[in-house]
Structure 1
Amino acid sequence: MPTKIDFIGGNTRRCLMAMALPMIAAMFLNMAYNLVDSLWIGNLLGETAYAALTNSTPIILILTSVAMGATNGVSILLSQAIGAKDKRKTESLIATSLIVAIAFSLLVTLVLELSLPFILKDLNTPTETYDMAYSYLAIYVLGYVAVYLYLYFTAVLRSFGNSMFQAVAMLVSTILNAILDPIFIHFIGFHGSAIATLFSQVVCLIFMVVYLKKKKLFSLHITWFDKADVLSLIQKAIPSVIQQSIPAVSTTFLTALVSTYSITAIAAYGITGKLETILFYPAMALNMVLTTIVGQCIGGQRTDRAKDYLKCALKYGCLLLLILSIIIVALSRQLSGFFVNSSDVAAIVGVYFSIVGIGYILNTVTNSFLGVLNGFGKPAKSMLLMIFYYIVVRMPLAYLFSFWGFGLNGIWTAVLISHICAAVASIIVATLQFGTQK
């Protein structure tokens, strides 16, 4: 399959936008997909059910992050092989990575189904929400193979310069989930939402496979499997998985910490997480897009082009996030009412965004530089930065501020401080990497 976009010879802004805009659209559709569950559950079943969904969310985030990280590791290697115009390497990487993806996703599904009760207890899941959270997750996990393979195929397409179809597939899945959710919740109850989600995920994967087969966008033969590629895939995938999973681990930790306050606090934190996706997803999209683009530039030995794309991403990404941050901070209390009709919940949500607000622009800076490091083939450096960002700074500070009596506002302040530290650290490390590459 020929690349859709000439990243090395084409106009920087146009090439970036051609990749980033469909990717951001896909992210927002994914956000809408997840919001559907939250809106229907919160409005039809109330605060306790929404709190149960919040208790389930960290595990879902970790599962999704693992899939995104592993498939992003595939994208790093594929992008560099495509940029170097190495057809044999490209073909063997696709065949090998697909087999590994199927085996790994099946293994994760089995392990999670067996260990869910222990995980929920370790997350301090309240007794009144435990049964609902367990039933939701037990059904959701059954669809993990579909989620994983969907993300795998989108990563492969992205490596070739095709990000448009991801948006189309997400649109179909989101519409389907929006239609099925209220129906299933009405007739089955809380876990009906999980059944609707599972069905939508399977349909999304089928839609993707049919598209790939019909268009014949790239060749795939199992005989091209090369066990020598497995080690390379693991070397790139593990840091990428850890990199993507650490935010979810942090969210899990903070959810457990917030759970010690009240059901109202849990519900409010769940809403902030949903609203934050509006502010996080553009940055995540830039991270993945820059991974692909910079990977091709490095494969083609054009470091100068990689720097041009970074500057362009920072310029337009920060402008977009400035606008979105102002809107969310200003309207956070009102938006909270769409999920749960509670003034106490809305008050907590409003304070959260008033404290953390500026951090989302900094997060865009961080993700842009992390995408560049991934494209350079240095996901381990991005991983270490994420460990610093969340494990060294955010989680200990959140615990300490809470322990010292600053309450929920202390936790929110720790989140802001971690954004500041992450932006500074990522700029320094990526700048040094550019110097080394020269």
Structure 2
Amino acid sequence: MKSEIDFVKGNTNQALIKMVVPLLLAMILMMAYNLVDSLWVGNLLGEEAYAALTNSTAIVMILSAIAMGSSNGVAILVSQTIGAGKKKEADSIIATILMLSAVFSIAVTVLIEVFLKQILIAMHTPSEILNMAYDYLYVYMIGYAVIFIYMHFTAIFRSFGDPVFQMKGMFISTIFNAVLNPIMIHFIGLSGSAWATVLSEIICLLFAVYYHKKKKLFELKLSNISFKYNIPLLKDAVPSALQGCMPAISSAMMIFLVSRFGVTTIAAYGVTSRLEILLFYPAMAMSMALTTIIGQCIGANRMDRAKAYVKSSLILGGVFLAVVSVLVIVFAGQLSGLFIHSSEASRIVKGYFEIVSIGYVLYMITSCFLGELNGMGKPAMSMILMFIYYIVIRIPLAAILVRSTLGMNGIWIAILVSHVLSSVIAVIFSVRARKNAAKDVCSIAC
């Protein structure tokens, strides 16, 4: 079975760049896609609506993380199978993946819709924005199954060494969302932004079906569904989904801690979350690329190639993110004004980035090792790392420091500390995983 990019025999740096650049462009488009909602809502509906969107974002992030995390998990098995040249098995795994993703996402949609009001109340959503947040999320959930299945399509195409699909799909949906968002907001209000999102997600899925018929990288038939792959898929998908949820859960808890400082601070934290996308998405793109690349190398019994890709990713990713971090930190105050016109919010945003600063380069380092661990078929180890990163270190430390004289700055310091410690732990985990790599490669080959 041929991969679109030759990761096993091709030039390491060239293959890595060919994989990462389209994914990074897709992530940038995803950033633009998310920023469209924020920019239009903040400028057309004001601070309260933006705060409601920020509160809703916590839930949206968790749901999106489940979709992206589980898709990255199944990419482990698919990429290793492709690397081993087992076409028939890959077709069966892919058909089973899409069936399971449809069943799961529909079940989650129904569950969230039924308990949505209670969830928002449990999150201590301020009463003045509760109804707006509810209206937005109720509509957003209508499209969750669509985007869940689409994300699994992107993981499947990445496993074949084709990152271009995700870039093209995000370009189409971003343009559609940008045009439709202000129109829907004008007529419906905040929920109109959610409707624009749902419709653009449907466009994404339709494009995925069209792209599959055009490329024909795999054969998609109901007869290919095999329940014997349920356990292997769940073994990779569940830890990866939980891993993806950790940042979103942490963000929800940060919003809970920030909410004690009022609506303006909630809105400011929402701005920092949007600007951090510029810094997080390159690291996420690198991690996703490495999951596929390392997976194919492991499937082909080439651990030497896997190590070379990790080394290249650390150098290229670290330098790139250092440059972007400096730009965001320097212009954070001015960038805040694009979302909400508040001098106090701009001051908070600027202070946030000045404190976190070097943490974003460390995040890239951690992400590279996460991609390596996932590609080696160690999603449980990646999950443990993310649990320590976001839950064990960040949340308790933030809860302690926010009650000190540091106030909200204590939350920002806790975030920086979590970046530092997690990068150290990631190195330790990587060294440990490599010691057992020969045995793992042998078991996959056999």
Scaled by the length of structure 2, the TM-score of the pair is 0.97
Letter of the structure 2 residue corresponding to residue 342 of structure 1: S
**Alpha-carbon displacement from aligned partner over 1:9-41 (angstroms, at most 9, x marks no partner):** 000001001110000000010000000000001
**Alpha-carbon displacement from aligned partner over 1:178-237 (angstroms, at most 9, x marks no partner):** 001111111111111111111111111111111212332321121121111001111111
* 1:223 aligns to 2:223 (yes or no): yes
User: Aligned residue for 2:248?
Assistant: 248
* 1:19 aligns to 2:19 (yes or no): yes
Which SS does the other structure have where 1:351 is aligned? helix
Q: Choose 211-220 or 330-339, whichever is displaced more.
A: 211-220
Alpha-carbon offset, residue 88 of structure 1: 2.4
Give the unaligned 5+ runs of structure 2: 439-446
Displaced runs of 4+ in structure 1, greater than 4 A? Answer: none
Alpha-carbon offset, residue 344 of structure 1: 0.2
User: Aligned residue for 1:271?
Assistant: 271
Q: Take 2:416 and 2:61, find their aligned partners in 1: how far apart are those partners? A: 20
Alpha-carbon offset, residue 433 of structure 1: 1.2
Q: Take 2:94 and 2:190, find their aligned partners in 1: how far apart are those partners? A: 39
User: Aligned residue for 2:352?
Assistant: 352
Which SS does the other structure have where 2:241 is aligned? helix
Letter of the structure 1 residue corresponding to residue 71 of structure 2: T
* 1:50 aligns to 2:66 (yes or no): no
User: Aligned residue for 2:41?
Assistant: 41
Alpha-carbon offset, residue 87 of structure 1: 1.8
Q: Take 1:436 and 1:231, find their aligned partners in 2: how far apart are those partners? A: 23
Alpha-carbon offset, residue 437 of structure 1: 1.4
How do residues 94-173 of structure 1 correspond to structure 2 at under 5 angstroms? 94-173=94-173
Which SS does the other structure have where 2:4 is aligned? coil
Q: Take 1:215 and 1:367, find their aligned partners in 2: how far apart are those partners? A: 30
Taking every aligned residue pair, what percent have the same amino acid on both sides?
50
Q: Take 2:165 and 2:267, find their aligned partners in 1: how far apart are those partners? A: 34
Letter of the structure 1 residue corresponding to residue 206 of structure 2: I
Letter of the structure 1 residue corresponding to residue 276 of structure 2: E
Q: Take 2:87 and 2:180, find their aligned partners in 1: how far apart are those partners? A: 43
Q: What's the Cα RMSD here? A: 0.8
Alpha-carbon offset, residue 414 of structure 1: 0.1
User: Aligned residue for 1:93?
Assistant: 93
Which SS does the other structure have where 2:244 is aligned? helix
**How many corresponding residue pairs?**
438
Which SS does the other structure have where 1:338 is aligned? coil
Letter of the structure 2 residue corresponding to residue 223 of structure 1: S
Q: Take 1:332 and 1:404, find their aligned partners in 2: how far apart are those partners? A: 26
Alpha-carbon offset, residue 72 of structure 1: 1.0
Q: Choose 293-302 or 89-98, whichever is displaced more.
A: 89-98
Q: Take 2:97 and 2:327, find their aligned partners in 1: how far apart are those partners? A: 41
Which SS does the other structure have where 2:407 is aligned? helix
Q: Take 1:52 and 1:251, find their aligned partners in 2: how far apart are those partners? A: 15
Q: Take 1:97 and 1:215, find their aligned partners in 2: how far apart are those partners? A: 19
Q: Take 1:90 and 1:202, find their aligned partners in 2: how far apart are those partners? A: 26
* 1:379 aligns to 2:379 (yes or no): yes
Q: Take 1:101 and 1:24, find their aligned partners in 2: how far apart are those partners? A: 25
Question: Contact 2:2–2:85 (CA<8 Å) still a contact in 1?
Answer: no
Letter of the structure 2 residue corresponding to residue 187 of structure 1: F
User: Aligned residue for 1:235?
Assistant: 235
User: Aligned residue for 2:433?
Assistant: 433
Give the unaligned 5+ runs of structure 1: none
Q: Take 2:47 and 2:264, find their aligned partners in 1: how far apart are those partners? A: 8
Letter of the structure 2 residue corresponding to residue 259 of structure 1: S
Q: Take 2:396 and 2:169, find their aligned partners in 1: how far apart are those partners? A: 39
Q: Take 2:52 and 2:175, find their aligned partners in 1: how far apart are those partners? A: 24
